[in-house]
A and B are shown apart, each in its own frame.
Chain A
Amino acid sequence: MTTLYEEIRPEPHGGIPVRRVTITVNGEKRVAEVEPRLLLAHLLRQGFKLTGTHTGCDTTNCGACTVLVDGVPAKSCTMLAVQADGHEVMTVEGLASASELHPIQEGFKDEHGLQCGFCTPGMMLTAKALLDENPDPTEDEVRWALSGNLCRCTGYQNIVKSVLWAAAKMRPAAAADQDGS
């Protein structure tokens, strides 16, 4: 990990110590040694080879790089990997279980919520944070929550439908969970 950016452009180290970070990524504890300047997006993609997290604009505008940090959407191109030390990060790879897709993924499939798919990981994670907090959002609430995630293909209609589809699918399960407790 020390050499992540050196692979890109070797530079003398300038005596800056690398730091050991422990991050729970999709439920699994991962340890890495990182330069302080390493961005979380780069640690995930190049370090952990979790390339589901996309970098689009690289200027904090598009939301393609969105991951959940302790359940809250954050743009991973605008966070240092060292800042995730001791925290839980969820990437799109963490949505599906070994045997089945997450309802949000099913929703995007069923309602044609993607075309090129570039924005989709960020969209789905932002949607997950919304549905965790608000299991029965209105269409306006979905649009508001997703307003930091840009899509150049779909025109958003089907993305909104996908999220509402997932919300409906997840609700009975949420209710059953609550009944059971």
Chain B
Amino acid sequence: MYPSRFRYEAPQSLDHAINLLHEGAGEAKVLAGGQSLIPLLKLRFAAPELLVDINNISGLDYHRFEADGTMRVGALCRHAALERSSILASRAPTMAAAAPLIADPIVRNRGTLVGSLCHADPQGDWASVVTALGGHVVALGPDGRRAIPITEFVSGPFQNVLAIDEIAVEAVIPAPKGNAAGGYLKLERRVGDFATVGVAVAIDTSGNQVTRAGIALTGVGGTTIEAAGAGQALVGRPLTADTIERAANLAAEAAKPRTDHRGSAEYKRHIVHTFVTRILNRVTETADKAA
């Protein structure tokens, strides 16, 4: 299989890239890791006139914490860099748990977190993680920068709200309100498969109280599902067997799974409950050990 014809540009600056997209007038597409776009081009589900390859733009491959604890992931930060990141492992448990579960090792070498968010696959893992963490995407266009909360950024399956001449330059995770804890669990049939069920839990704690909680679900609905009620049920309370059970029940209720080749709706809902419980139990175990 090979794509239909397109023009190709590999600009070295964001300004140039934005100009090219602007001139492309909606017939241009950004190429980041290419791990979703190139398969689509080959299947001819996408046939842009122009590809704007951003891989030659330097300074976009970072992921770092600001002094205030805000985390930024640049548009060319690969899944593999996040998987190997020591700062992620020590300070961003939900992201650190998800990174090794994206696709397979070779795809992770090229694919990017920001590209995943832009691709807006309802089965994508990063969208759930960034949703649970309350993150946003920074878009850059001819009129400057704007921050778009992840819950507004994705407007439907494989759709985002970027203007035709905007590039997503980074994803931003707000600083935790206290200690960051949480995790990501994914049930997959084999390595490289999309999730049968994925559950992202991100909670911040101060003392034994939960100060902020986000829970989001992959693969159990037509989009990423934010189980806002489940998160809310934890805030202002300590993590106990009761609060954990309540959050797990609410998350399972928020899921809208369908029976398919990956499993029955009932089974998937059950897994949501199990995963929320498992992640939160691990958080309490780790806290107990530390105390």
Contact = CB atoms under 8 A, between A and B. Distances in A.
Interface in B102-123: 103-107, 109-110
Interface in A9-45: 11, 13-14, 16-17, 19, 35-39, 42
Contacts of B8: 19, 36, 80, 82
Nearest to A37: B3
A126 B106 contact: yes
Contacts of A77: 42
A36 B48 CA distance: 12
A36 B9 CA distance: 9
Mostly, the A contact residues are mixed
A37 B8 CA distance: 8
Contacts of B4: 37
Interface in A134-165: 144-149
A79 B39 CA distance: 10
A91 interface: no
Contacts of B38: 39, 60, 78-80
B34 A147 contact: no
Interface residues on A, range: 35 or more
A37 B1 contact: no
Nearest to A130: B105
Given A61-B192, A78-B34, A83-B34, A145 B105 contact: yes
B106 A66 contact: yes
Contacts of B10: 82-83, 85
A75 interface: yes
B187 to A, nearest CB: 16
Nearest to A14: B5
A88 interface: no
A178 B34 CA distance: 37
Contacts of A103: none
Contacts of B7: 16-17, 36
Interface in B1-58: 1-8, 10, 34-35, 38-39, 41-42, 51, 53, 55
A42 B10 CA distance: 21
Interface string B268-284: 00000000000000000
Interface string B54-75: 0100000000000000000000
Contacts of B42: 39, 58-59, 77
B106 A36 contact: no
B5 A35 contact: yes
A148 B107 contact: yes
A39 B106 contact: no
A148 B108 CA distance: 10
A59 B107 CA distance: 12
A148 B105 contact: yes
A72 to B, nearest CB: 5
Contacts of A149: 106
Nearest to B106: A148
Contact of A63 (B2, B5, B41, B104): B104
A5 B8 CA distance: 16
Indicate the member of A80, A85, A146 with the most B CB atoms within 10 Å. Answer: A80
Contacts of A36: 5-8, 51
Contacts of B110: 74, 78-79
13 contacts: A16-B7, A37-B2, A37-B6, A37-B41, A58-B42, A78-B34, A78-B39, A80-B51, A82-B53, A83-B34, A126-B106, A146-B105, A148-B105
Interface of B: 1-8, 10, 34-35, 38-39, 41-42, 51, 53, 55, 103-107, 109-110, 191-192
A-B CB proximity, top 8 nearest: A148-B104, A36-B8, A148-B106, A147-B191, A37-B3, A148-B105, A78-B38, A73-B106
